Amino acid sequence: MEIWAEMERMGCEELVFFQDGDSSMKAVVAIHNTKLGPSLGGCRMKSYLSQDEAVRDALRLAKGMTYKSAMAGLPFGGGKAVVLELPDPQKRAAGFRAFGRFLEKLNGAYVTGLDLGTTVADMDRIREETDYVTDTSGSLGAVGDLTAKMTAYGVFLAIREALALLAGSPADGPDRAGAAPAATPKTAAGTKAAADVTAADLNGITVAVQGAGKVGYFLCRYLHEAGAKLLAADVDALRLDRVVREFGAVPVWAERIHEAECDVFAPCAVGGILNDAAIPQLRCRLVAGAANNQLLQPRHGAALRERGILYAPDYVINAGGIIVTAAELDGRSAESAKRQVERIPATLRRVLAKAATSAIPPAEAADRLTEKILARGFCRE
Catalytic residues: 80
Dist CA 310 CA 162 (whole Å):
8
How many other C-beta atoms are found inside a 10 Å radius of the C-beta of residue 260? Answer: 23
- Report CA 221 to chain centroid distance, whole Å: 18
